Structure 1
Amino acid sequence: MKRLALLSLTLCTSAHAASTITIATVNNPDMVTMQRLTPEFNKKYPDINVRWVVLPENELRQKVTLDVASNAGSYDIATVGTYEVPIWAKNGWLKPLNPLFSKNASITRAYDLNDVLEPVRKGLSYQGQLYALPFYAESSMTYYNKDLFRKAKLTMPANPTWQQIQTFASKVHNPSQGVYGVCLRGLPGWGENMALFSTMVNTFGGRWYDQNWNAQVNSAAWKNAMTFYVNLLKRYGPPGATSNGFTENLTLMSQGKCGMWVDATVGAGFLKDPAASKIVKSVGFANAPTGPGTPRGSNWLWSWSLAVPKSTKQEDAAFKFITWATSKEYIALVAKTKGTWAAVPPGTRTSTYTNANYKKAAGDFAPIVLSSIKRADPTRPTKDPVPYTGIQFVGIPQFQALGTQVGQ
């Protein structure tokens, strides 16, 4: 009887100790990998159960914003970006992470926060406090199919212009063979087509607002950028471009259907992954294109990151997960699982870029990614001065609705 009672007490204690965290994340390939590796997290923390809510980018933003703003508490971890973090932190919607690091000395030592790239840390901070940890960070760059370029006798420069991109697109565009000159985001959304298009506006010499917050969307620079973008996609882009965001264009590029693709640097690892890409040996890399106005603001700065909403009741469990999923240990785990260091979440840690295995696997694109992230300056994104921060977005709460409306 005593043994039975002791067993019963043990089971009750274990059941009570177990906790469940709900994670809301975007359906990007890196996040899908994170979901698949949940059993590895459970090996380290068997008393924490993980429930996933995986959504397309636009839907994720709507649902998570509504939930966090209303303090509903549906999510213990939210996938957020460099746009949301400072705004949400200011509103008191997120838990500051510095106190959690202070409470967990062993995690802090292993995590090595100073290893996280400074521009990324700054982008996820507000008033000196860190509010999210970067799962991966990115700028933007140009991808091209070297086989198609060789066939057309073209050479991609290290620093292409948008005019050169248009010329190259006209040479390799062959829709009858299922090959399109250039793939660009056309899916409406402030973080979809407007991410790319805002960089075009910047480098064509435009801006969203002047110093007095007067809208500049009717300026000549805006008109020139918009005309160029629309004509480029209509003439040399794939059919149904308004349905294509990052994920759709990544698929097209990886299947050899795009002569070029201008998008997030995070795509490089997938295009070099034999399990996901048919163009591993023929993909080339260059910097993001510049326009006729200025090189400033031609490449963006973004980080998909993990934050803990203020409304969570599982603070400790959530902190354990976000430090695990953004750690050096996790990056090595992805390399082992995928069979290549080229596929690891990029852009977050100095140690990744000094790792000999990563240099060997990602040597043709890693330097471009790192220099692009370091070069991106959200405080000086345009030719003329502006009252906001942000390169591919305007760092104000209203931009989420405004950017999507303009994108549509």
Structure 2
Amino acid sequence: MTSLSTIAASIAHSHGNGRSDMHVDAVRDFLAQMITPITDSEPVDLLATLGRVVAGDVISPVSVPPHDNSAMDGFAFDGAQLRAGEPLLLRCVATALAGHACSGIVAPGECVRIMTGAVMPQGLDTVVPIELTSTSDDGRIQIPADAVRAGANRRRKGEDLMQGGIALADGELVTPAALGLLASLGLCKINVRRRLRLAYFSTGDEILKPGEPPCEGAVYDSNRYTLFGLLTRLGIEVIDLGTVRDEPTLIEATFREAASRADAIITSGGVSGGDADHTKAMMQRLGDVAFWRIAMRPGRPMAVGWLNRDTAIGGQRCLLFGLPGNPVAAMVTFLAFVRPALRQMMGCTRAEPPRLRAVCTETLRKRPGRTEFQRGIVSRAADGMLVVRTTGNQGSGMLSSMVHGNGLIVLGHDQASMQPGDTVEVMMFEGVI
């Protein structure tokens, strides 16, 4: 079997414009090809399906709405009685309430007072809003000339969804709207894919846990907490394995534990050219891992591959992502590559949120040959146009910039510096981080 390193080298050669760095698009394509969605599923209660991925098409057991009904409060009548340019006088003979059928035949010249959602009485197909009508001297309901057309304000049976139709397709994400749709079908349990299990940990002797006293040369571990938030937003079952010192036996034991418990692993730190070799060496020893330099900023170093797993615990390989240690670089790499890959692994077919286009208000310095993700703040100008500016210092350790910004300004591989007034793409954070 061809190793991932060999495949990665081939991709880098064909997409790197003569350089060893891999093109961002090549990384995405490679990940899309190596991911296999999980297929295990389980039935869960309706309220527990929010954020889960549907397993198999959900077929509607009923039509929605289940009958023709009124779209508003008003008077229901046979629209065939309408004549262009002429008012219509009708005698109200009954009232139709939501949840209560109105029996009997309504004769020509008659109408029924009807409430929103009430079943349309037999033979009636039109509703005039109550506020458009008046009452004549003899007590009849008067509809002004040309106030409504025949068939107006009637919801037809099954116009939202017909019985036997697909309510949610396999791979759909259950959103709040989808949750309501499923409830409208009377369903109380839905078959969904099981949650993806992901183990993560940080490596490095310089990493402190929150609560520990400061130490010269050491930094507090932020990556585990941002990763927890990012993974939780995805609806993934997270397994936090803490911080691991740069000792081969500890690193090996943590990798083996992670592979035994999870479908995928994320580490932060230990993958750049200047890092200690323990983490990289252990990745290579325990599986097939490619170490990439990606033509992007921030987030150039990244490792992707498989760790071997004991066949006795089900399956032979566990997906591995090694992210850079700098906080912003780790988040950007996650958003650009890991998040789409994990969604694919979850079996989710819902498209990523589309990028916005905004006019930059300042010079964005960039050289061609790499993709840049600059932290930005999108707002709306007085003329209604979306505009964007950077958060300032774009250092890969400036985690506060990810807090103050509301999106990433994406400057493509071949783009050069952008000037005020130029239009740029923005990957918004809302709903993601």
| TM bucket, shorter chain | under 0.3
Q: Calculate the TM-score normalised by the size of structure 2.
A: 0.19
**Higher helix proportion (structure 1 or 2):** 1
**Higher strand proportion (structure 1 or 2):** 2
Higher relative contact order (CA 8 A, sep 6+): 1
Greater Cα radius of gyration, structure 1 or 2: 2
